[in-house]
């Protein structure tokens, strides 16, 4: 069984006004077994924290990387 970890993230670039925060929220919900938060920061970034099993966090990180690189 994977151990539980917490990550903090900040994604910069063109991430506000394009649905990125909502994408992260929905992706985390679809992966499941995860808690946390995500918001649009004043500096233009999307910030958040997520807690869950390591393999679930890795899936979330990969999804953010793939979505961000498009």
Q: What angle do CA 50, 53, 68 make, to 5 degrees?
A: 50
Catalytic residue among 5, 6, 14, 21: 21
Beta bridge partners of 20: none
Choosing from 40, 43, 59, 70, which is the catalytic residue?
Answer: 40
Active site residue 70: no
Question: Is-catalytic flag, 68?
Answer: no
Cα(50)–Cα(57) distance, integer angstroms: 7
Q: Which residues are tagged catalytic? A: 21, 40
């Amino acid at each position: 069984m994977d151990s539980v970890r917490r990550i903090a993230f900040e994604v910069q670039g063109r991430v506000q006004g394009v649905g990125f925060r909502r994408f992260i929220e929905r992706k985390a919900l679809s992966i499941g077994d995860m808690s946390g938060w995500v918001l649009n920061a004043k500096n233009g970034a999307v910030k958040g924290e997520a807690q869950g099993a390591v393999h679930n966090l890795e899936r979330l990180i990969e999804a953010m990387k793939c979505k961000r690189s498009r």
